[in-house]
Amino acid sequence: MLPTLVRESWVERSFPREPEPELVMDDPEQVEAYVRAGRIDSDMAAAYLFHSARVTQLIQGCEFVVDLACGPATQLAQIAALNPTIEFLGIDLSRSMLDSAQAHVTELGLTNVRFEKTDITHLADIRDASADAVISTMALHHLPTLGLLEGCFREIRRILKPGGKLYLADFGRLKSLNSVLFFAYMNRRHQPHLFSLDYERSLRAAFLPADFVKLTRDLFGAGYQVLSTALVPILVLIKSRQEQAICGTAAERLKAMRQALPRRYRRELDDMRLLFWLGGLRGDPFP
């Protein structure tokens, strides 16, 4: 159950979207602090595993997957490790982020991931209809304007094969600054201040769920759906409608990874599963 503060503030008047002050995080010290706070064993562990399971479920049978705005590749590396037969291309505009990403996948011994420094609204080096799937997790809010978000969606449509798989997860803009501050700082005792501050800026910069609905309808059509967490649409998910069972080693690894989470993170994962299920997301990949 969401706290009374959040449930009541959700119905208040919406506040204007505030784009993040930096489109590209490229300062090496800032990148290093961000990476340390957000690696796989951080407070993001539950979210990483949720997205990794859902993406893995979606990309079964794919050969080439593009990850837009991959950052330090924490999420991408986990997905690539679960899907070693698939080739992944991580796209980001920050050279410092990509350097960190390459070091991370090298340390993990992954050979199915490569990176490219490119603007996600202009994927000139990726051929038309060449990607089996396009994914992006918690990054689209970095785009300064709705027009650039539309440009990104048009590029996704261009590079995606007909009927290709899509998984785009991001924040949804809340209607109250009180709600933004509550969610941004709810874990302040467990994470660096920089991470909480970045979370606040991200929530302020998020697009409206209605923006995602309109662009998905206009550019992708009926084969794709927009879902959000129930009660408060703080997370929005744009995805292909196809659901597939995860078989073999990946299924066993996901089960073990969930069990290995500390109790608090496992509870957060299960809360995400429930809130998205209440929001209409079916085909839970966890047993």
Model pLDDT, residue 12: 38
Among residues 116, 58, 107, which one has the least CA distance to residue 83?
58
Report, as an integer, the average pLDDT of 12-17. Answer: 56
Report, as an integer, the average pLDDT of 200-212. Answer: 86
Model pLDDT, residue 1: 36
Reported as a pLDDT band with limits 50, 70 and 90, residue 7 is: very low
pLDDT in tens, 221-272: 999 999 999 988 889 999 999 778 888 899 999 999 999 999 999 999 999 9
Report, as an integer, the average pLDDT of 177-190. Answer: 64
The CA distances from residue 94 to 118, 148, 230, in Å, are 9, 17, 34
Reported as a pLDDT band with limits 50, 70 and 90, residue 43 is: confident
d(CA 203, CA 9): 15
Model pLDDT, residue 203: 76
Identify the structural domains of the chain with CATH numbers, from first to last.
Answer: 4-12+22-278 (3.40.50.150)
Model pLDDT, residue 6: 39
Model pLDDT, residue 262: 94
Q: How many CB atoms lie within 10 A of CB 193?
A: 11
Beta bridge partners of 137: 169
Beta bridge partners of 131: 160
Share of the chain above pLDDT 90, in %: 68
Query: Among the residues of 43-192, which ranges form H helices?
Result: 45-58, 74-82, 95-108, 146-159, 177-185
